[in-house]
Structure 1
Amino acid sequence: MRTLLLIFFIIAAAHVSADDKFTVAKKDSETGLWGYVNKEESGRTLWFKRAKRVSFGTLGIGGGSKNELLTHGYEDEWVISPQYEDVAKEFSEGLAAVQLHGKVGYIDTLNRFVIEPKFESMKNLDGFSLGLAAVKINGKYGFIDKNGAFVIKPIYEYAENFRDNKLATVKQDGKFGAINLNGELVVPCKFPLEEAMTSVPFSNKPYREAKEQAAKDYAAGKYARTLDITTKAAAEADAKINGGGNGETRKITVKDENGLKSAYADDGSCVLSPIYDDIVPEDDNLLMIAQNGKWGVADAFGRIIIPAKYDIITYDDGASMIVADTGGRIGLYRTSGMMVLPPCLDGIDEFVDGKAIAYINYESGLVDTNGELTDSIVEKAFLKAVKMDESNAPRHEVTSLYNQILLACPDFAMAHNNIGIMDIEAEDYKEGMNRLKVAHKLEPENTEIAANLKQAKKDRNQRRWNRIGSALEVAAVVVGVATTAYTTVETIKHGSSGGGGGSMGAGDIGSGSGGGSSCAQILSEISRYENKLAKEAKSTGGKAAHEAGKNAAHRIAPDMVDGSTAMDLRVINSGKSLMRTYQKRIDELKRRARKKGCL
């Protein structure tokens, strides 16, 4: 009996996954539907970790539109997108009850139905407790295991999940009572309120006694039959969850009804109403849906995983990734509706072994199924934006690329720095100052950013004195004391400001490329790019040596060792291209330094 109890506790503990702790239910204000969001930093995807670094709560630079600007409008990390009429507040033992089309089923943390929707709607949805869940069918409540089979028959007017004390509240003839794990009524249904049974002194004596007896019976093995059923069901549910995929394939028939498409399950039930221009079945029970010229994703249960708002939607079944294109920018979603990368890529190839070649402004790198961008794709795009800026490209083109970079990597400090300088040059001082503050807080040790912020503050103070001076001079004319006012102004300017109040023009502020006017800034940038070049040379050299070794081995034993792939060579070539870019930048900076007499 002790062995059975131990097995039960091990399986129950295994169901309390990390995702259980991280996810919490939330209602979408726009659609009115429910999903689950990530509430813990440690459980966030890389993109959201970066976005949260520049959000209001971390940097404290202001809320409202500023907060939305820095997180690009993605305030919540939807682990499961809003697609249900009602849901349990959180997952319990790895599962959560959800209501879809008026029926209740149970999903895992990847949004896969472990128990399909077949039960009636209930007042309070929950997960599982002690391997059992209260459900409603034909107007009566009972308790099911994780296979969806009834362990305690549905005979009650109302029921709640079992508590840790091994008792569950039930209701019969309008009165509350309690049952144990064997379904035996151990507290008579005679209480008009549940609190009177469980909490009110004196009246809760039967409940307290039943709780003590339940603990003794549990230790004595009197619930062995129930535990055996729930333990086996939990193990089978685990096997289904760990098996991957989206469950058994459901046959879907797409019909044309008065020029609009609908979808029906094999049993004849309608899963998607005739409101769509097109419905295209895909693998893994997914359906591509078109509405008003836009595309989204639904599934064979009728869940709208991604609303129809994208220009193009494709499904990479090898990686189980949804690729969404809007306005020529591509983002990535999981089949649960979870966004792993917002629309920031200009192109993407098919995934191979969990990675795909991605493109930002014709620069290439790799992206994985977690949305992590590698192979310096963001830095390469950043260097291109810097060169565009230096060559006096149209401002909107430069800022567009910088913003695309920040959408891909929200905490890229130098991109914030450069946008801030461009804003100040365009006399959008408040926006520019905020950007520089963000950049400085992201990289407080970056001397170039610190110098730019310091200079911007000086310029701001000068603009303030100019406003004060103008106001005082006008007042002097009005009251006829121009000389006194002028003296006051000069005292404020040169006395309080600590010397001169001189202003450096916007053009003298160092650009994000390291083009500050001082020798210290130029030499600092030369050193920084030389370090980057050395690091990239080491990385690319190592990759090239590794591939050369593979190819040599392949020539010796082609049946045993694979040679380099096209993707391997593209990665190396991308690294070499970045090295050339770094070297060219160093050469430009050195020419500038020699011209200024710094070298």
Structure 2
Amino acid sequence: MKTLAFLLVLIVNTSTLFAQEYALVREDGKFGFIDKTGAYVIDPQFDKADSFSDGLAAALENDFWGFINIKGEWAIKPEYDRVKMFNSGFALALKDDQWRYIDTSGKKLETPSSEKYYDFEEGVALYRSGEKIGLLGTNGKLILEPTYDGIKKFRNGHAKVNNGELWGMIDNTGKVIIPVEYEEIGNTYKEAGVYGKKDGTFGIIHDGSFNPIDNATKVYNFHGDSKLTYASREKKAGFVNSKGEWVLEPTYDKARAFSNGLAPVAVDKKWGYINEKGEMVIEPQFRDAEVFSASGFAPVKDKNWGFIDTSGKVIIPMEYGISGNFAFFKGAEEKGFVNGLARVKSKKGWGFFNEKGELLGDKWFQNAEPFVSVK
């Protein structure tokens, strides 16, 4: 029994360790990091810093950039003129006017020379040769020879690509998932499909077929695991499925994606929420509204932003801002609840609310970034 109890404690402690999340904050002009209790784990001491990625965070000392570990110790000493965030085990770093990829120990990755270097994301980095783009792997070798005029951001292991005016989609092995034959294509691959436009007609690309949508003038990406996405026809919004069928006719002024079985829609300049049957579950009453988080909270706006639950109850009053754009931050536009906390702005600064509507640590900061895993 003692052995079993020890193993249970070990599992809990290990889970807690791997669930560690820190947020980058600024106080009195210096950057530091807090944990989810609101306490500092790395005191504010840096003139500039970035969020953690792959267990390390970029920080500036004496005009040079390096990377610190979760204890605030230098894992890679500050010797670079500029650095990017880690992704897939590598980060771009600039030294002596030369960009190079370094791993989390600071070792340089040997790669073919290029006129321009791109960040790794989802295990690959773009590689340019002349006017064409291919893919570089984390072993420093080409996965895909430069083939396309453009390759956009990878999402869910897929990226849209183009040659000339036509678009398609590949995965991160370079395999063609959707042929380059569409005038427009969505940027997010989902099991339910990807929207596209072919011969002037909008539709859904699903299971290798293009399913036209009757008279659609605009279609949007599927969101989460929803089987419906929103589309426009004659300046009204409705919802379609993977077959391109109008499941909910376009009768709304505006719409956004379904999440937690609810979607924000606008009627006569007021936003409310419908279910997948088209029933109005939360009556139109807001000046603006966003999709629900996975945990069931959505940002809504009167003069400012607040949050409601799926019953429409206000959890956080509409008194705050929910987006920002800071020079050194990546992903600063995330809004709503992320991993159980919502980042908001007040006249006192930036802070975090939990799902009970409580201000984390009862404290505001000059700046604050969303919490990210540090493991």
Q: TM-score, normalised by structure 1?
A: 0.23
More contact order relative to length (CA 8 Å, sep ≥ 6): 2
More strand by share: 2
Q: TM-score, normalised by structure 2?
A: 0.35
More helix by share: 1
